[in-house]
Structure 1
Amino acid sequence: MSIDFALTEGVALITINRPERRNALDAEHYAALSEAWERVRDDAAIRVAVITGAGDKAFCAGADIKSFVGRETELSELWLTQKGQLLNRGLEVWKPVISAINGACVGGGMTLMLATDIRVAVEGATFAVSEAKRGIVAANGGTQRIMKQLPYAVAMEMLLTGDAVSAERAMQVGLINKVVPASELMNAALDYACRIAANAPLALQASKELAVRSLDMDLATGLRMEQMVNRILHHSEDTATAKAAFAEKRTPEFKGR
């Protein structure tokens, strides 16, 4: 059992390392992944995170159904809404998250990807919300985020047929940012991560939160929130650092303060 975690120069790399099960998640892997996301949220040394899967077959096949068959849980757990929080289940992680899709992205793997901000995929990757084929719905945001991220007809086609689409089609409809050969996947994802990590951490988190919350806010409220956040950031050390670096024609070194 392994959810690998590495941190290098502000970039956290999370790897779902269970290739023999197409990186499907059982209860233990879900718990470990929850801990990884909490660390990304809470560790000030982390500026951006990259999530990927081990091997060359699948990014993540979602829940390991076999491990949950016959597993009994108390009905009261339905109201433990903050237990074992995940990125796609509602955990608020305002640091940018990049997904490096190394193969099939299915079910819970798809809902995980939908909760990330930038997505790079290998040429042979496929994408599907296939829960309807199993008599259930795409939970953890599957029916919610896909409607906000894709045109209505495209989202409905994926939800209702459960059929997979290619990486090329996914990029065409705006589901992912880039398609690359398998040998270039991590370089492409880390290139995004390093460019993002070079920016001011507080501004990054504020930008992501404002953008995400704008989906549920009216424009007037969103504009006002922008004003308030910018007023706060104008008094940050990072803003002073940026001004000094611009005047001295050098690269700023942000501290996230």
Structure 2
Amino acid sequence: MPVDLALSDGVATVTIDRPDKRNALDAAHYAALSEAFVRIRDDDAIRCAILTGSGDRAFCAGADIGAWLGRERRLKDLWATQAGPLPSRGLEIWKPVIAAINGACIGGGMTLLMATDIRVAARHATFSLPEGRRGVIAANGGTQRLLRQLPHAVAMKMLLLGDTMSAEDAGRWGFVTDVVEGDRVMDTAMGYARRIAAAAPLAVQAAKELAIRSQDLTLAEGLRMEQLVQHALLASLDATEGRAAFAERREPVFGGH
């Protein structure tokens, strides 16, 4: 399989499995990634996801340029905006997605990364958007998300020069959550994922959606959305369970209802 999805205790681990090509993405890999993320969105058994690459050289080296050269580009495909949906292309997944960055993160790998929520990077990981040197732009959100996630001048240097950022600098600028030794990347990511999977899924998804949508709302609009969502959550069985577990001094067991 070009992309592996393993499910354990509410956590889906999605692995781009093409280490000989530094986990570069051809059409089959993009299609498999899309299928995996649609399942993550729709499967109630999944409460959190981890995205990673196979091996220790690369998280994802972006598009496999050789596989895409010469492919027919039809003008009508420009309006097939929901074809092959991915989080980087606008697929709405409110379940948290954690990136386990096990090596180089380049081009399309970066745009996938920027659509994740928590990011654990190996100390040897690197980050770059070299598309400008190939006559194209960092599409699938590269030009749209980078300036929201890095300071303006730092983001523009990456976008316009294609310079490589180290894991240390990515951590310093808050682009990644943790920088750890390579053999600790998956354990750290899984630790976060299991904690999220044990939390109330409705509240977790609501918190993620509210936080992300707040970027496009006024403060007054965001506060009102927050009030409405909180009102709905207070009537949920999960909220009842949370209150009961607190009163009984035990760990809650949430069902997502």
Alignment TM-score, normalising by the size of structure 2: 0.99
Please list the CA deviations of residues 19-74 of structure 1 after superposition, one character each: whole Å capped at 9, or x if unmatched.
01110000011001000000000000000000000011100011111111001032
Instruction: Give the letter aligned to residue 41 of structure 1.
Output: R
Report the equivalent of 1:194. Answer: 194
Distance 2:241 2:106 in 1: 43
Distance 2:14 2:21 in 1: 17
Report the equivalent of 1:4. Answer: 4
Shift in Å, 1:195: 1.1
Alignment of 1:142-153 (within 5 A): 142-153=142-153
| Structure 1 alignment gaps of length 5 or more | none
Report the equivalent of 1:233. Answer: 233
Alignment of 1:18-57 (within 5 A): 18-57=18-57
Instruction: Give the letter aligned to residue 122 of structure 1.
Output: A
Report the equivalent of 2:117. Answer: 117
Distance 2:158 2:193 in 1: 29
**In the alignment, does 2:96 pair up with 1:96?**
yes
Instruction: Give the letter aligned to residue 3 of structure 1.
Output: V
Instruction: Give the letter aligned to residue 141 of structure 1.
Output: G
Distance 1:43 1:218 in 2: 32
Alignment of 1:150-189 (within 5 A): 150-189=150-189
Distance 2:134 2:18 in 1: 23
Shift in Å, 1:244: 0.4
Distance 1:104 1:250 in 2: 43
Distance 1:211 1:116 in 2: 13
Q: SS in structure 2 opposite 1:63?
A: coil
Distance 2:133 2:74 in 1: 26
Report the equivalent of 1:129. Answer: 129
Distance 2:200 2:238 in 1: 6
| Percentage identity across paired residues of the two chains | 61
Instruction: Give the letter aligned to residue 253 of structure 1.
Output: V
Report the equivalent of 1:215. Answer: 215
Distance 1:17 1:79 in 2: 30
Report the equivalent of 1:69. Answer: 69
Segment of structure 1 superposing worse, 224-233 or 130-139: 130-139
Distance 2:156 2:216 in 1: 21
Please list the CA deviations of residues 196-235 of structure 1 after superposition, one character each: whole Å capped at 9, or x if unmatched.
1111000000000000000111000000000000000000
Computed over aligned residues only, the root mean square deviation of the Cα atoms, in angstroms, reads: 0.6
Alignment TM-score, normalising by the size of structure 1: 0.99
Distance 2:2 2:27 in 1: 12
| Structure 2 alignment gaps of length 5 or more | none
Instruction: Give the letter aligned to residue 161 of structure 2.
Output: T
Distance 2:2 2:71 in 1: 21
Distance 1:77 1:143 in 2: 21
Deviating above 6 A after TM superposition, structure 1's stretches of 4 or more consecutive aligned residues are: none
Distance 2:30 2:183 in 1: 28
Shift in Å, 1:129: 1.1
Q: How many residue pairs align between the two structures? A: 257
Shift in Å, 1:180: 0.7
